[in-house]
Structure 1
Amino acid sequence: MNKGLVIKSTGSWYTVKSETGQMIDCKIKGNFRIKDIKSTNPITVGDHVVFRLDEQEEENATKPVGLITEIAERKNYIIRKASNLSKQSHIIAANIDQAFLVVTINYPVTTTTFIDRFLASAEAYRIPCTLIFNKVDRFNKEQTKQLDDLIEIYSSIGYRCLKTSTKKDIGLDTLKKWMTGKINVFSGHSGVGKSSLINKIESRLNLKTKEISEYHLSGMHTTTFSEMFELSFGGYIIDTPGIKGFGMLDM
């Protein structure tokens, strides 16, 4: 038996990264369901699984094919209503180490209502959240004071905050350090600069970060498939649909 991490889900097939770093396309053994979760998908990106190589399937395949036989208990997950079955849900990611909410007090405005809703959702899903205050190079004295007041409020209740600017390279090394070795999710309003931030710290993900931005923010994409991308400095970033509303299903 082999252990691995599910890094991509396409409904019936799952890409599992084995402990040796090999990518194995896997199916699920039988029809097992996760206890107490009425979900359209029993396995999701971020799950730790046990699988065995399927010799029957391998005969007809050009590369190894696996069969997932067990799933480890999740420390957390994000869930949303399934689009076609109102009584069921769809798990879009599991075992997330941290979420980053990218906010701007101007260009565009991120309201405290939006921030608080996101933080409440993250708490409900047991996902630690960091606030990234972006575009600090653009703010005048009055706006900088407003920004500092916000940081003081959120810091005082235990949230980690960071000022960033891609144009002036402010806070990027710290952000990279915080992401290293973790499974990360980014969110925030359209235009706050998520794509630019991610491109700056991991330029080879250029195309994917544009997709991440669109998935999170425009609401135009209806895909239900998630994928994790490995970061060159260690860790992962999750590209997943439906993160904008953070599910709110079982709150």
Structure 2
Amino acid sequence: MRALIYKSTGSWYIARGEDGQLYNARVKGSFKVEGLTSTNPIAVGDEVNLNPEDEADNVATITDIHDRRNYIARTSPHNKNKHHIVASNIDQTLLFATLKDPKTSQGFLDRFLVSAEAYHVPAILVFNKSDLFRKKEQELYDELWNMYTAIGYTVLKISLKQGEGIEELKTLLQDKTTLVSGHSGVGKSTFINHLFPDMELKTQEVSGWSGKGLHTTTYAEMFDLPFNGKIIDTPGIREFGLVDISRQELSHYFPEMRALLNNCQFNNCQHINEPGCAVKAAVESGEIAESRFFSYYNILESIDAKSY
């Protein structure tokens, strides 16, 4: 039968079959390595075929994986030369950030946005803890809001503590599969708890499965929203390592640069020292934000360091 992967812990998976039942599923040995370059052959959000083995314990074998519509990957936290698929078949991603306690760097935001662009996943920036904003933070938020909305991103300000902006955010989640990401401490888990006030229901469903003793925050996990839609919770990400992006194509994942690439004098322009560069001219005229160009430059340098 067809099924959807709700949780992956590396060797065991939780899958919901088309019969509505949750199964503890394993991968057939040969399937695990065949032609796969990621550290995880199956990710949360994958559609698979299941072969039920033991109906009493709801144990099944995964026999096949269906083509992915899209996915988001990062460098593996355990092996920098491999990539790890965070989640697949997603409609959008929410990146939680904070401007205070802790402060999320713009470099981290931009790396994440580049990855979302590369994998064709619309991204929404959510700045939490607006109750901590003083004049300095509010000015920075206004600056970021102007910069990111001008290039096509949705940017929201919320306070989970005071309940500000939550209903607007819920509306954006309706009828969609959404990946939620961000550093630890930015309010991601608090938000998910807010969506599921009765968290016992959330954990009860999977009690008794093979990975019961594992730390739930280590792995991505998908939940059905009470108002139609699905949400995928990911562990807190310290850094976001980009994969499979060359120096040549990086500028394509900055929307404001992408719009100008045909105006550069050289087809292979990397927008650093080349003459007749439309991107550098746009930075100088203020059409492209200087801070976004610095993010581009820093990412470009990091790709070089890895000898892509």
TM-score (norm 1): 0.77
Any unmatched runs of 5+ in structure 2? 203-214, 246-308
The answer (yes or no) to whether the contact 1:79–1:246 under 8 Å persists in 2 is no
> Which secondary structure does the structure 2 equivalent of 1:113 belong to?
helix
Cα shift at 1:248: 1.5
- Matched to 2:88, the amino acid is A
2:166 is the alignment partner of 1:167: no
For 1:64 and 1:183, the matched residues in 2 are separated by 25
Q: Which has the higher contact order (CA 8 A, sep 6+)?
A: 1
The answer (yes or no) to whether the contact 2:181–2:234 under 8 Å persists in 1 is no
Instruction: Tell me the residue number matched to 1:11.
Output: 10
Q: How does 1:71-86 map to 2 (within 5 A)?
A: 71-82=65-76
For 1:62 and 1:113, the matched residues in 2 are separated by 50
The answer (yes or no) to whether the contact 1:80–1:242 under 8 Å persists in 2 is no
The answer (yes or no) to whether the contact 1:47–1:94 under 8 Å persists in 2 is yes
- Matched to 1:145, the amino acid is E
Cα shift at 1:36: 5.6
Cα shift at 1:15: 1.8
For 2:10 and 2:92, the matched residues in 1 are separated by 25
- Matched to 1:100, the amino acid is L
> Which secondary structure does the structure 2 equivalent of 1:161 belong to?
strand
Cα shift at 1:95: 1.7
Segment of structure 1 superposing worse, 80-89 or 135-144:
80-89
Instruction: Tell me the residue number matched to 2:62.
Output: 68
Q: Deviations over 1:55-108 (max 9, x none)?
A: xx32xx633433322211112223345566665444332222222122223333
For 1:5 and 1:123, the matched residues in 2 are separated by 25
Instruction: Tell me the residue number matched to 1:108.
Output: 102
> Which secondary structure does the structure 2 equivalent of 1:32 belong to?
helix
Q: Deviations over 1:185-230 (max 9, x none)?
A: 2223343332333333332349x9xxxxxxxxxxxx8x86432223
The answer (yes or no) to whether the contact 2:87–2:179 under 8 Å persists in 1 is no
Instruction: Tell me the residue number matched to 2:91.
Output: 97
Q: How does 1:187-198 map to 2 (within 5 A)?
A: 187-198=181-192
Instruction: Tell me the residue number matched to 2:118.
Output: 124
Cα shift at 1:178: 1.2
Evaluate the alpha carbon distance shift between residue 171 and residue 74 of structure 1 in structure 2; reply closer, same or farther with a 3 A threshold: same
> Which secondary structure does the structure 1 equivalent of 2:114 belong to?
helix
- Matched to 1:248, the amino acid is L
Cα shift at 1:3: 1.2
> Which secondary structure does the structure 2 equivalent of 1:203 belong to?
coil
For 2:169 and 2:34, the matched residues in 1 are separated by 36
Q: How does 1:1-251 map to 2 (within 5 A)?
A: 2-29=1-28, 31-32=30-31, 37-53=36-52, 57-58=53-54, 62-82=56-76, 88-205=82-199, 225-241=219-235, 243-251=237-245
Cα shift at 1:247: 4.1
Q: Deviations over 1:3-62 (max 9, x none)?
A: 110112233332211123111222334512687632343222110112233xxx32xx63
* RMSD (Å), alpha carbons: 3.1
| Count of residues in Structure 1 that have an aligned counterpart in Structure 2 | 233
TM-score (norm 2): 0.64
Segment of structure 1 superposing worse, 115-124 or 197-206:
197-206
Q: Identity across aligned pairs (percent)?
A: 46
For 1:96 and 1:146, the matched residues in 2 are separated by 30
For 2:121 and 2:191, the matched residues in 1 are separated by 21
Evaluate the alpha carbon distance shift between residue 99 and residue 243 of structure 1 in structure 2; reply closer, same or farther with a 3 A threshold: farther
Cα shift at 1:173: 0.4
For 1:168 and 1:242, the matched residues in 2 are separated by 23
The answer (yes or no) to whether the contact 2:183–2:237 under 8 Å persists in 1 is no
> Which secondary structure does the structure 1 equivalent of 2:172 belong to?
helix
- Which one has the largest radius of gyration? 2
For 2:238 and 2:42, the matched residues in 1 are separated by 21
